[in-house]
Amino acid sequence: MVHCSCVWFRKYGNFIDNLRLFTRGGSGGMGYPRLGGEGGKGGDVWVVAHNKMTLKQLKDKYPQKRFVAGEGANSRVSALKGSKGKDCEIPVPVGISVTDENGKIIGELNKEKDRILVAEGGLGGKLLTNFLPLKGQKRVIHLDLKLIADIGLVGFPNAGKSSLLGQVSHAKPAIADYAFTTLKPQLGKIMYNDFKQISVADLPGLVEGAHMNKGMGHKFLKHIERTRQLLFVVDISGFQLSSQTQYRTAFETIILLTKELELYKEELQTKPALLAVNKMDLPDAQDKFHVLMNQLQNPKDFLHLFEKNMIPDRTMEFQHIIPISAITGEGIDELKNHIRKSLDEHANQEDDAYHKKQLLNLQISNTIFYSEPPPKNSVTSPR
């Protein structure tokens, strides 16, 4: 059993998950035609990953968002070979995907000190270029944060996601009794006794039709892609956005959330998922929970109640279903323990898969090595 001693939550003001930057490699240095001297190559522009960096810090530090490398030195009598221009390094957080203006991926930075060349310096003047230097490469790049948290909370507005984060942390998120939605991702951390930390993102609330970009739909779904696992949060008594919209039961809510994820990107349904059934302190909550469990165990028996276009191709399979009350604290410790257990299990599975792949590559390379014919002997024996 894992106990959480201290849990804290930090709201990041003006959270930024993507940036557009202008980059240019340095120009080369002039050649020296009379003595055949070569100018120095221009400096290059690199994107380098740092653990303690955020895109907000990068934007605040470099508001112009322009990164230009140094020019190569000119060739001269005292130094015929000009020195290379100074490289420019752009510090970014770990977990960044770098794309060009057309959306083509240049590379990804997955660990500390990973680096990607984004704009190359121009060649220095030499015989081939008539001793004239070349300009550096110009490139507009986009930085996208791939993973923002271990756990992403998924739910319609007012499911109690903000209240839940208030329970597992010292946060005081804005909470309303009407259909309210968080407008910016809020990141928090669960801290355990052994100093293990798990990051949780309370993402902008999903609404029906989000895949069609209603409200903040697409932005929300883009954030969901950037979490390792999903935690669905539903209200046991169901959900109604306003008096003009249809009332949905807890089961209908889960089916609709699943459909929204599927319509945006089917792969989202393959993410490991847990389900927190909230507001268990309400009257009749236990009876409703038993009904919900029956529906989740036999979903096909109840799908005829839905319009065809609302039924997902595959229903979500939850690793754990935990009844909770964000108000009274019921089930919160159990939920935290299941979150940790689920993440640990999947980390182990990923490690096993990686090691199996490495072993397979090794076996393939050995097979190729042994299947090669022995080299022909250059010395022929006399007949």
- The DSSP code sequence of 42-66 is PPPEEEEEETT--HHHHHHH-TT-E
* Distance, CA of 305 to CA of 178 (rounded, Å): 27
Runs of H (alpha helix) within 45-160: 55-61
How many Å apart are CA 190 and CA 85, to the nearest integer? 46
Cβ-contact 306, 255 below 8 angstroms: yes
What pLDDT does 263 receive? Answer: 81
Contact present, 317 and 270 (Cβ < 8 Å)? no
Describe the chain by its helix, strand, coil percentages, rounded to 5: 30, 25, 45
CA distance 206 to 220: 7
Residues 14 and 204: their CA atoms lie apart, in Å, by: 14
Q: Topology of 18-145 in CATH?
A: Spo0b-associated Gtp-binding Protein; Chain: A, (2.70.210)
CA separation for the pair 277, 321 (Å, rounded): 7
Residues 203, 182 contacting (CB under 8 angstroms): yes
Sheet holding 88-93, edge to edge: 88-93, 45-50, 115-119
Pairing state between β 88-93 and 96-100: unpaired
Phi-psi region of 135 (alpha: psi -120 to 50; beta: other; left: phi over 0): beta
Task: In whole angstroms, give the CA distance from residue 353 to residue 224.
Answer: 24
Residue 128 φ/ψ region, left for φ over 0, alpha for ψ in the -120 to 50 degree band, beta for the rest: alpha
Residue 92's DSSP bridge partners are 49
The alpha carbon torsion through 332, 336, 341, 347 (nearest 10 deg) reads 150
Q: Please tell me the predicted confidence (pLDDT) of residue 203.
A: 66
Q: How many angstroms separate the CA atoms of 355 and 294, rounded?
A: 39
Pairing of strands 273-278, 318-323: parallel
Among residues 165, 76, 162, 74, which one has the least CA distance to residue 124? Answer: 74
149-345 is a CATH 3.20.20.70 domain: no
CA angle 304, 154, 175 (to 5 degrees): 120
Sequence letter at residue 334: E
Domain boundaries, the chain: 18-145, 149-345
Query: How many helices and strands in the chain, by DSSP H and E?
Result: 6, 15
Q: What pLDDT is attached to residue 8? A: 31
Question: Mind listing the pLDDT tens digit of every residue in the chain (383 residues)?
Answer: 444 433 333 333 456 778 999 999 999 999 999 999 999 999 999 999 998 888 889 999 999 999 999 999 999 999 999 999 999 999 998 888 999 999 899 998 888 899 999 999 999 999 999 999 999 999 999 998 876 778 888 887 766 676 776 666 544 444 333 333 444 566 778 878 888 888 887 766 555 454 454 444 556 666 777 788 999 999 999 887 667 778 889 999 999 888 888 887 777 888 899 999 999 999 999 999 999 999 999 988 888 888 888 888 888 889 999 999 988 989 999 999 999 999 988 888 766 776 676 677 677 756 554 444 555 444 443 43
pLDDT at 204: 61
**Do the beta carbons of residue 4 and residue 333 sit within 8 Å?**
yes
- Identical fold between 18-145 and 149-345: no
| Spatial distance between the Cα atoms of 10 and 52, rounded to a whole number of angstroms | 15
